Amino acid sequence: MDSRTDMPDPHDGGITVRRALELPGLRGGLPEVLAGADRLGRTVRWVHAGEVPNIASLLKGGELLLTTGYGLGTRPADQRAFVRTLAERGIAALVVELGPRFAKLPAALVETARTAGLPLVQLHREVAFVTVTQEIHTEIVNGHYALLQRAEEVHRRCTGALLGGGGIPQVLGILADFGANPVFLETADGQLLYAAGTGPANADPLQVWEGLRGRREEDPPAGSVLVDVPGTGSGGGPGAVRARLVLLPVNTPLAPVHRIAAQRAADVLAVVLMQARQEEELAARGRGDFLTDLAEGRIEARDAPAQARVLGFRPGASPLLPVVMRLADGLAPGGGWAVLARAVAEELASVGVPVLPGVRPVEGRVPLLVALRAEGERQAVADRVAAALRAGVERAGMQRPGAQPPVVVVGVAGGWAAASAGLRHAAETATAAQGLPDRPWYDARRLDTDLLLWRLRDHPDLAAFVDRAIGPLRDHDHRSKPPLLPTLETYLAHAGRKAETARELHLNRQTLYNRLARIGELLGTDLDDPQTVLALSLALRARRLVP
């Protein structure tokens, strides 16, 4: 007898068939195993007693079935069918008490049980089924209690690690040690956040995760444990998923106790993530409030360096470059502003110069100050900062297909006084730049005309001006092809240089000349007249602001 299977498995809280036969109730019946002796290590989930032929329909699997045999039938065919249906249902064992119905179990019954691999036991003495049921159920309940105690011990250790100053890596490490398998914390959409434990032959857990990252959530590796970490998600309601714990059975099989322990750990992680996100978002908002107060003159330039140092920004005497990123209207980070703040901060770490980023959720902005080593590197640093900001937006899951990309506006470098005006100007022009052709970043100085037009957007005179200037062209483009407004825009963008215009539009010169002539005819004006060119340029830039 294998002593390792005599007691309930400490990892699943169950009781084996072998252990059930050794309890006083069944042992008093002098049990004799007729089939499935090699499968007595099966776990008994529950005990059921019954005498009806279709009893299999009442079972769910894992039961130890007690019977005196009245439901087995008298014909061999019925007896075979009875055993086969029980085996298909997945019961743990069939125990038949000999007596008035059977003095010895029929050969058809025994042979079918052997073929199906179903443990079959006959009792030579009468037993009280109620006593057997009570004994086994007591063992099962005690086993589950022990299982819960083991899981609670994991919970206690995780909580202790946090109180001792640990964090998510320590919690995952405790869970990985308990399960003897690697453990991963992923975002709700499957991006890896943390990993702990080792794979086969002490392999790096990241190698394990990379090797299995193609798995589908609805079809995870067999025997794995996936537990949602609750929290407030994008919907903001109860039951939302913030992250997911993944336990993979790459070293040893996982048991129910590991799932329970993972659920306890997930509750701890939910608190950690919530606290971290709140602290991170509060810090990001605090920096955003400082930058906004500086922009709006509520903080004097002479007081700003000291307050910035408190926030961890120490640019020294370096020129300060004001930058503002504005999100499209109605677009908010799916996981909250803390997610965006973290993603942006991590991307900005690669810029190579001190940066103070903040968030302003009400205005949908991310303002920041960048410390330049010299004013001459404004272009290069602006390129890197803009790329980092856009990468942060994408990393935070905000750049959805078809969505308007964020607008990044870069101001003029200077001291703290210039930074105040520069942040305010960049914030205003970032709003005015919504709807302009997408660029990596805009120079705030080149958006003043757009800012002036944006401030006039609700004035009826602006709509009337646009209609007078380019109304005939809009009417033409609604009715006829090819459209002429794109030709006019390109022509004015190239300052009336026809060769460059034709090249960008992929037109031969004669076709371009014909189109320009048609535009002049429809508008009743001379495209070479400077005043006309100015009016048309303003009207084209203002048309996105009017109905």
Contact (Cβ atoms closer than 8 angstroms) between residue 505 and residue 491: no
Which is higher by pLDDT, 155 or 2?
155
pLDDT in tens, 278-308: 667 767 888 888 999 999 998 899 989 988 8
From the centroid of its chain, how far is CA 67?
Answer: 52
Per-residue pLDDT, 402: 65
Per-residue pLDDT, 235: 40
> So where are the chain's domains?
3-140, 152-274, 280-448, 460-545
Strand ranges for 36-179 from DSSP E: 43-44, 46-49, 63-67, 93-97, 120-123
CB count within 10 Å of CB 108 equals: 18
Cα separation, 319 vs 413, in Å, equals 6
Contact (Cβ atoms closer than 8 angstroms) between residue 113 and residue 35: yes
Q: Strand 365-371's sheet: what is its strand order?
A: 355-357, 365-371, 320-326, 407-410, 442-443
The two structure tokens encoding residue 469: 């200037």
**Mean pLDDT over the full length of the chain:** 85
Q: What is the mean pLDDT of residues 420-430?
A: 94
pLDDT band at 333 (very low <50, low <70, confident <90, very high): low
Per-residue pLDDT, 97: 94
Name the phi and psi angles at 481, rounded to 5.
-130, 150
Domains 280-448 and 460-545 share a fold: no
The angle at the Cα of 10, spanning 5 to 11, to the nearest 5 degrees, equals: 110
Per-residue pLDDT, 234: 40
**280-448 is classed in which CATH architecture?**
2-Layer Sandwich (3.30)
Whether 207 shows a pLDDT value over 80: the answer reads: no
- For residue 443, what is the enclosing H or E element? strand 442-443
Q: What is the mean pLDDT of residues 447-456?
A: 90
CATH of domain 460-545: 1.10.10.2840
Whether 57 shows a pLDDT value over 70: the answer reads: yes
β-pairing, 63-67 vs 93-97, is parallel
Whether 21 shows a pLDDT value over 90: the answer reads: yes
Specify the pTM: 0.51
pLDDT band at 346 (very low <50, low <70, confident <90, very high): confident
pLDDT in tens, 348-389: 988 989 999 998 888 889 999 999 988 789 999 999 999 999
Residues 208-245, buried b or exposed e (16+ Cβ, 10 A)? bbeebeeeeeeeeeeeebbbbbbbbbeeeeeeeebbbb
Cα separation, 400 vs 12, in Å, equals 44
Which is higher by pLDDT, 192 or 508?
508
Contact (Cβ atoms closer than 8 angstroms) between residue 229 and residue 241: yes
Name every residue whose Cβ is closer than 8 Å to that of residue 144 and which is 6 or more positions away in sequence: 13
152-274 classified as CATH 3.30.450.40:
yes
The CATH homologous superfamily to which domain 3-140 belongs is HprK N-terminal domain-like (3.40.1390.20)
Per-residue pLDDT, 216: 44
Which is higher by pLDDT, 547 or 508?
508
pLDDT band at 6 (very low <50, low <70, confident <90, very high): very low
Classify residue 360 by its DSSP letter: B
Classify residue 219 by its DSSP letter: B
Whether 140 shows a pLDDT value over 50: the answer reads: yes
Cis peptide before 482 (omega within 30 of 0): yes
CB count within 10 Å of CB 75 equals: 11
Residue 153 burial class via C-beta count within 10 angstroms: exposed 0-12, middle 13-18, buried 19 and up = middle
How many residues comprise the chain? 547
Cα separation, 103 vs 69, in Å, equals 10
Strand ranges for 172-237 from DSSP E: 183-187, 192-196, 225-230
Three-state secondary-structure class, residue 464: helix
Please state, in angstroms and as integers, the Cα–Cα distance from residue 113 to each residue in 30, 83, 121, following that order: 20, 6, 10
Which is higher by pLDDT, 62 or 274?
62
